[in-house]
Amino acid sequence: MYRYFNVLFVTLAILLVSGCGTTNLKVKASEAELVSNKDKAYVIFMREDTYMGSAHSPDIYEFDTKTFKPQYVANLSIGDKLVWEVDEGVHHFYVDYFMKSINTLDAKKGETYYVSINEASAKPRFLSEKDKPEQIISRLHCNDKLINQYLFEDSINYDEEDSKRKYYSSPAMIRDISCSDGNVYVGETVNSINMPMIEELKKSTNFVRVSQDITRGFTGSSKEKSIQEEIRAFYPIWKAKFEGIPDGEFLRVNKLVDSKFYKKFDGVQLNMVGHNKLIDNSDAENFSQQAKRINKVGKHNIQANLRLLKLDDGSQAGRYFAIGFTASQIISSAKKSAGAIHLLVDFVDSNNDVISSIEISDTMIGGFFGGFNTTKGNAIDMLDSYVSKNLLQ
């Protein structure tokens, strides 16, 4: 049985690209042979065979949350994939690439989890929650309702040979889609940096293993101690700001709007029904007041019941200087300036029946001019767009 490995990849971008080769050993074996122990779980780390980001290789470590002592997993070259065997239970991984990332995996016996590690643009390219809607969308008919429910916007892609094909991007998906003759094509776009499908990665990568000399050389070394301190410093930041939400701007549609309620309302009323106890009451109230700009008075209103799960807008001014050159500088900058938000919204009618349910999240580390917007503004804009495109007449 297979599961996608949900990876939270926090963008702590290092703009310098340094060359780093690996000394992995090729493995001539099939996946079935490498994941044969049914009493274990397996994580397969895969790196796309692409020139983009190829000058730098990701270091992968497993660690525990008591001592933060890292166990060396691999350093992957392009086209490599590696099987990591684990016991059933919770496991934590730290990836040191162009940016730092942490993920928690609750592994089950007999299951295999796939991870794609790539950096082809400013965005991280891990398999994540953004992959799941594609399994649904690929089976649907392409029409206005589909475009609206996942907040698709026109993409800059185009196809000179097929002028009828239209391309779309969505905060709910990591890949673009295209529509032609009512059919949906996920990932089949002119844009070459779209995330490859898992089946494509499995075919285009080759199994490797790490030399025992590399593993022995890491244990007890100054590098091991340095990585341990990095993880110790970064873990509480990840825990407070980023745990449980995908990287970047993201929409998760938990319940689609049924056809009989699609665009049937003429008003919306936002209600703050709760917030995480770690969020300051005044911050939650301030966000609630800002979010009420989506309100519209009508005769047939929909209630938007909002629960604030995470809120830390960080420092927009601090994001001007979010880029660092050492691990300690990057982690310190993230602690001070990184922003994150996660909210759950249930839309209910006059009978208190849930018509639709969505989650919105956003993370912001840095960018030109400190990031043009804030996580709060981005989240409210996405909420407003969802309401206007799916619920209001």
Give the DSSP letter of residue 256.
P
| Per-residue pLDDT at 104 | 84
Of 287 and 48, the one with more pLDDT: 287
| Of 84, 123, 80, nearest in space to 105 by CA | 84
Q: Is pLDDT at 191 greater than 50 in this prediction?
A: no
Q: Is pLDDT at 336 greater than 50 in this prediction?
A: yes
Structure tokens given for 229: 């301190």
Q: How many CB atoms lie under 10 A from the CB of residue 146?
A: 18
Question: What CA–CA distance (Å, rounded) separates 237 from 230?
Answer: 11
Q: Is pLDDT at 108 greater than 90 in this prediction?
A: yes
Q: How many contiguous H segments (helices) and E segments (strands) does the chain have? A: 9, 19
What percent of the chain lies above the pLDDT cut of 90?
45
Strands 80-86 and 206-209: parallel
Of 22 and 167, the one with more pLDDT: 167
The DSSP H or E segment spanning 235 is helix 222-241
In order of 44, 165, 332, the CA distances from 159 in angstroms are: 35, 7, 44
Question: What CA–CA distance (Å, rounded) separates 230 from 90?
Answer: 21
Residues with Cβ < 8 Å from 37, sequence gap 6 or more? Answer: 85
| Per-residue pLDDT at 19 | 40
Q: How many CB atoms lie under 10 A from the CB of residue 285?
A: 12
What ranges do the domains of the chain cover?
2-127+196-241, 131-186, 250-390
What is the domain class of 2-127+196-241 according to CATH? mainly beta
pLDDT per position as a tens digit, 50-97: 665 556 778 899 999 999 999 999 998 888 999 999 999 999 999 887
Q: Is pLDDT at 149 greater than 80 in this prediction?
A: yes
SS (H, E, C) 294-319: HCECCCCEEEEEEEEEEEECCCCCHH
Topology at the third CATH level for domain 250-390: Rossmann fold (3.40.50)
Residue range 315-320: average pLDDT? Answer: 58
Residue range 199-215: average pLDDT? Answer: 87
| Per-residue pLDDT at 189 | 53
Q: How many CB atoms lie under 10 A from the CB of residue 271?
A: 15
Q: Tokens 């094509």 identify what position? A: 185
